[in-house]
Amino acid sequence: MHIHKYEKIWLAFGLASLIVFLTVIGISAFYLGNKPPSCLTTINPEKVDQTVPFNHPGLHKVEGKEWDYELVYVAQTFSYTPAEVKIPLGAKVKVIATTKDVVHGFEVAGTNINMMLEPGYVSEYVTTFNKEGEYLLLCNEYCGTGHHLMSSKIEVVK
Amino acid sequence: MLSTTSQVKVDPRDAKLSMAHFYVAFIALAIGGLMGLLQTLVRSGKFELPGGIGYYEILTVHGVLLGLVLTTFFIMGFQHAAVSRTAGTHSNAARRTGWIGFWVMTIGTTMAATMILMNKATVLYTFYAPLQAHWIFYAGLTFVVVGSWIDGAAQIMTYAKWRKANPGKPGPLLSFMAVVNTVLWFVCSLGVAAEVLFQLLPWSLGLVDRVNVLESRTLFWYFGHPLVYFWLLPAYMCWYAVIPKIIGGKIFSDSLARLSFLLFLLFSIPVGFHHQLTEPGIDPAWKFFQVILTFLVVIPSLMTAFSMFATFESAGRAKGAEGLFGWIKKLPWGDARFTVPFIGMAAFIPAGAGGIVNASNQMDQVVHNTIWITGHFHLTLATSVVLTFFGISYWLIPHLTGRKLSKAMNKLAIIQAWVWLTGMTFMSGSMHAEGLLGAPRRSAFSLYNGAKQAAEWIPYQIAQAIGGSILFLGIILVLIIFVNLAFFAPKGEEEFPVGETDPNAEKTPMVLENWKLWIGLTIILILFAYTIPFIDIIRDAPLGSKGFKTW
C-alpha cells in the first residue's frame, strides 16, 4: 500500500505527539502518583451506617499516616452527611466516601476532587486544601428528582 | 471504483425502505430538539416547565430520541441506500430482512417512548443501575438493538452477494464502509445486550433481586464508546467517498480509506474504561491500558484529516488553483452538499482536541461529569455528525423520492448550517467554559443553597439558552427542508454522488477484505483489554443492589 510522503510525515508527527502525551500521563499517574480515584475496597451498601468509618461521618484528625485528616462522607438521595465541614488551611486530607443507595457523583467545584460513588464501593482521594474559601460539594451523576439539590459545603479556614 | 453491478439510481423498493427509516429519524429530531430547547430554557433559571413535567423526564426523551433513535434510524437508512447504490439492489430476501429490522426497531422505540412518557423510565439514556425503570423500557431498547442487527444483516447479505459475484475483487468502497460500521455495531452492542438481557430485564421483572452495578456499567461502556464511532463512521463515509465527487475531485486513496475504517473497528471498542476513570473498583493499571488504546484512534483520525484536505487541495489545483491556499477558493462553497458537511468537519478539530482531554487520566478528573462533557459531544455528535447527516439528506432524500434539491432549498440549507454553527458556538462554548468552573451536567437549574460558585455559573446557562434557541431555529429550518424534499420539491433526478479513485491509483490490497483477520484482531484486543479486569469486577463484587425509583 502506497503512503504519500507528506502523509508519512504527518502520521509520524501524530504518533510522536501521541507517545509524548501517553508518557506524560503515564509518568504522572505511576511515578508522581496522580492516579484517578480507583479504590478497590468494598462495603455492604445496606449496612453503611454500621460500618467503620462511615458510622462517624465528618472530619477526623489522624496520627501516623501520610495525611493529617480523614474526611468521611455518606451520600444518599439527595444529601451528603456531613452537610457542612470546616477544614484548616493547608491540611492534607484523605476524603473517604460511599453511597447508601444509587450511584452519586462527588465533585468539589474548583478542585481536583471528582469521583464516582457506587453502591458497594468505597471511593477515596487524598488532597491538600491550599486555598482559603468556601467550596461547593455537589452530585454530578443523575440520581433522581432532587439530583440538582444534592450538595454540601466545605469551608477552608485559617 | 464503479463496478458493473453498481446502480446509478437506488432501486425504488430499496428507496422506500430507506425513506421509512428517515421519517422516524426526522420525527425523533423534531421532538428531541424541542426537548433540548426546553432544557436550556429551564437551566437558565428564567423558565419553568408547565403542568408538573419533570426536567429529567424531558432530558431522558432528549437523550433517547437524539442519541439512540435519530442516529440509529438515520444510519441504517443511509447504509441501506449506500449498499443498494454501490453493491446492487437488495434481493427480495435482503429487503424483507431490512423491513423486519425496521419494524422491530420502531416497535422497540414506541415501547421505550411510552414508558418514558408515563414517567416510568426517567433514567436518562444511559439507564445506570440501580435506578430501575419499567421492564417494558428495557425490552423496548432490546428491540431497537436487535432490530438494528437484523437491518445490518440485510446490508451484509447484499455485500456478500456482490463479493460472490466478483471473486478476488475488493467490494465497493461505500458498501465496504457500511459493512465495517455494521460489524463494529454487532460487536459493541453485544455488551449492552448482555447488560439488558442478563442483568436489567430479569431484575426489573423481579426474577432476580439484585444487580451488580459495576458490572452493568462496564458492559454499558464497552458499548457506549464504540457507539459514538457507530455515529461517526457514516459521516466519514460521506467525507471519504461522497464529497470527492461533489467537489469534482478523486478519492485520495481507496486503500487508506479502508485501512482507517478497519483501525476504527480495532481501536474503538476496548476503550470503555476511559468513561470510568473516576470509578472505584477498577485497577488504575487497566484504566491506563485502555487510555493507551483510546489514544490510538488518533491515528485513523489523523489519516482522515489528511485525506480530506489532500482531496480538497488536489481538486482545487486540478481546477487551476495557484499559490499555497488558492485551492480553498475553488471549493464549491455555494453547494450545500459540500458546505454543510464541511462545517461539521471543521467542528471536529476542536471536538477531537477536547476528546483527548477527556481521555487523559488526570485531566478527566477536572471535567468528568461536568457540563464540559455535554459541550464536547454537542460538538462531535450534534455538530460534526449531525451536520454531515443533514448534508447527506439534501441529496439522498430527493434521490430517493425522485425530486430535486432546488436552488432556494440549497440556499436555505447553507443558511441552516450557519445558524447551527452559531447556536452551537454559544451553547457548546459556554458549556465547555462552565464545565471548567465545575458546573455539573444533567442537572436542572439550582442555586445550590446560595453557593457563591454556583452563582457564577448562571450567565453561562443563559448563554446556553440563547444558543439552544438559535439551534431550535436550525431544527425548524432543517425540518422545512426535509418535508420539502420528501413531498413538495420539483420532480427530477438528483444524483447519488459516489467518488471514484484516481485511475492511476494502486490496486487495493485484498488483505483489507480479510474479515477473519480484522474481526479476529478486534476480538483479541477486546479480550486483552477486558478479560482480567472484568473477572476482577465479578470476583470481588460487593453485595448487589436492589432497584431504586428516585424520580
State whether A26 and A92 are in the same domain: no
Any residues with CB less than 8 A from the CB of B317 and at least 6 apart, and which?
B327
State whether A50 and A120 are in the same domain: yes
- Only one residue has cell 425548524, namely B476
State whether A62 and A97 are in the same domain: yes
What's the mean per-residue pLDDT of chain B?
94
Binding-face residues of B in 270-329 toward A, CB within 8 A = 276-284, 287-288, 291-292, 295-296, 298-299, 302-303, 306, 310
Asked whether B239 and B341 are in contact (CB, 8 A), the reply is yes
Q: What is the pLDDT of residue B459?
A: 97
Q: List chain B residues with CB under 8 Å of A124.
A: 280
User: Is A139 a member of any domain?
Assistant: yes
Low-confidence stretches of chain A (pLDDT < 70) are 1
Task: Give pLDDT tens digits for B72-128.
Answer: 999 999 999 999 999 999 999 999 999 999 999 999 999 999 999 999 999 999 999
State whether A117 and A147 are in the same domain: yes
Any residues with CB less than 8 A from the CB of B488 and at least 6 apart, and which?
none
B130 preceded by a cis bond (ω within 30 of 0):
yes
Q: Per-residue DSSP letters for B203-215? A: HHTTSSS-B-HHH
- Only one residue has cell 430527493, namely B398
Q: Quick one: how far is CA B424 from the chain centroid? A: 17
State whether A22 and A96 are in the same domain: no
CA distances B230 to B96, B223, B381, Å, are 24, 10, 11
Q: How confident is the model at residue B6 (pLDDT cuts 50, 70, 90)?
A: low
State whether A140 and A65 are in the same domain: yes
List the grid coordinates of A6.
Answer: 507528506
Q: What is the pLDDT of residue A4?
A: 81
Give the torsion through C-alpha atoms of B337, B340, B345, B351, to 10 deg: -150
State whether A147 and A91 are in the same domain: yes
List the grid coordinates of B106.
Answer: 420502531
pTM of the model: 0.95
Q: How confident is the model at residue B5 (pLDDT cuts 50, 70, 90)?
A: very low
Q: What is the pLDDT of residue B140?
A: 97
List the grid coordinates of B205.
Answer: 421483572
What CA–CA distance (Å, rounded) separates B216 from B210? Answer: 12
CB contact under 8 A, A121 and B544: no
Share of chain B above pLDDT 70, in %: 99
Q: Which residues pair with A156 in a beta bridge?
A: A87, A133
Task: Give pLDDT tens digits for B349-408.
Answer: 999 999 999 999 889 999 999 999 999 999 999 999 999 999 999 999 999 999 999 999
State whether A87 and A132 are in the same domain: yes
Q: What is the pLDDT of residue B7?
A: 64
User: Is A40 a member of any domain?
Assistant: no
Q: What is the pLDDT of residue B381?
A: 96
What's the mean per-residue pLDDT of chain A?
93
User: Is A21 a member of any domain?
Assistant: yes
- How far A62 CA lies from chain B's nearest CA (Å)? 23
CB contact under 8 A, B361 and A36: yes
State whether A19 and A54 are in the same domain: no
Q: Per-residue DSSP letters for A115-152? A: EEE-TTB-EEEEEE--S-EEEEEE--S--STTGGG-EE
Q: List chain B residues with CB under 8 Å of A19.
A: none
What are the structural domains, with CATH classification, of chain B?
Answer: 332-496 (1.20.210.10)
State whether A73 and A21 are in the same domain: no
Q: How confident is the model at residue B321 (pLDDT cuts 50, 70, 90)?
A: confident
List the grid coordinates of B203.
Answer: 431484575
Q: Nearest chain A residue to B510 by CA: give it.
A: A1
- Whole-angstrom distance between the N-terminal and C-terminal Cα of chain A? 66
Domain count, chain A: 2
User: Is A53 a member of any domain?
Assistant: yes
Report the CATH number at residue A82. Answer: 2.60.40.420
Task: Give pLDDT tens digits for B32-53.
Answer: 999 999 999 999 999 999 988 9
Q: Phi/psi at A46 (nearest 5 deg)?
A: -95, -5
List the grid coordinates of B330.
Answer: 475553488
Among B280, B370, B437, beta carbon nearest to A38: B280
pLDDT of B502 above 80: no
User: Is A103 a member of any domain?
Assistant: yes
Assembly ipTM: 0.94
Q: List chain B residues with CB under 8 Å of A118.
A: 213-214, 217, 279-281
What's the longest Cα–Cα distance across chain B?
A: 71
pLDDT of B510 above 70: yes
Identify the domain containing residue A57 by its residue range: 45-157
State whether A56 and A23 are in the same domain: no
pLDDT of B177 above 80: yes
Any residues with CB less than 8 A from the CB of A9 and at least 6 apart, and which?
none
CB contact under 8 A, A2 and B253: yes
State whether A22 and A52 are in the same domain: no
